[in-house]
Structure 1
Amino acid sequence: MRLPLFAGKVSAGFPSPASDYVDKTLDLNELLIQHPAATFFVRAQGESMRDAGIHHNDILVVDRSLEPVSGKIVVCAINGELTVKRLVYELGQWTLKAENPAYPNIPLNGDLELVIWGMVTNVIHPV
């Protein structure tokens, strides 16, 4: 579904005069999904990624076609349990990092069965 996209921008600081004409239309699928055949949605549960802007019940847009790289947020299964964390490589060690100090990081070692399902590309967060 295509919706109107206004030509002007909305100030998040001081108010500015409104621009009241539509520049074009925008399809959120085109904005949020780069690889439709490799993309899925999943709902976040819990608050371990709060400081990365991912909150309980947010919808994550996950792309399976992207290579996981250090510093990016991934959805993965650890010993069969799904989680969302930041994948980090530091000092020769891969870690799944929580973005909330109340939750522990998960160092990746040979004892864990890890399957990375995809990289989070967008978060849909109600206000």
Structure 2
Amino acid sequence: MASDKSGSLTFFTPEIIEGAAAQLFDAGISAGFPSPAEDLHEQHLSLDEELVKNKETTFYARVSGQSMIGAGLDDNDLLVIDRSLEPVNNKIAVCFLDGEFTVKRLRVSDGEVWLQPENPSYPIINITEDNNFLIWGIVTNVIKKV
């Protein structure tokens, strides 16, 4: 996986490796009462196949900061970003704003674009024609360490 540090995000490109699949037990693991182990059936699962729909336009980036904690994006989480998806209202997007990358929720209304953090300690950003602004990609998944 190749990486490139840019502003507060570090970007990675996916490297799909044939046959690199982890074991998956398809019965599900109970988060309530324990279930009998004999119901487990082993299969193989590739996270790249599950998370990457378009290899040419998909990238990973690490979250840096706390502005999106309300959306479940914590510092050091790994984002899966697809550049081929259409940016629409309410999607979480990675944007290039005035020389830096940021991840925020898109708010589009009456021809205006706003970048909304998911932490009340951070201000909502109104995008104007004075900004150097580009929606770089849409976040499709987040990978967390527990």
Q: Secondary structure at the match of 2:48?
A: helix
**Is 1:4 equivalent to 2:20 in the alignment?**
no
Could you tell me how far apart the structure 1 residues matched to 2:65 and 2:120 are? 13
- Give the CA RMSD over aligned residues: 1.2
TM-score calculated relative to the size of structure 1: 0.93
**Counterpart in 1 of 2:124?**
105
Deviations, residues 63-106 of structure 1 (Å, cap 9, x unaligned): 11111111100001101111000001235532100001111111
Residue of 77, 96, 101 corresponding to 1:77: 96
- Look up the equivalent residue of 1:28 and give its one-letter code: L
Could you tell me how far apart the structure 1 residues matched to 2:105 and 2:78 are? 16
**Counterpart in 1 of 2:15?**
none
**Counterpart in 2 of 1:20?**
40
The 5 A counterparts of 1:1-127 are 1-18=20-37, 19-22=39-42, 24-127=43-146
TM-score calculated relative to the size of structure 2: 0.81
Identity of aligned residues (%): 49
Gaps (5+ residues) in structure 1?
A: none
- Look up the equivalent residue of 1:125 and give its one-letter code: K
Q: How many residues align?
A: 126
Deviations, residues 5-52 of structure 1 (Å, cap 9, x unaligned): 112011222322222331x21100000100001011111100000010
Gaps (5+ residues) in structure 2?
A: 1-19
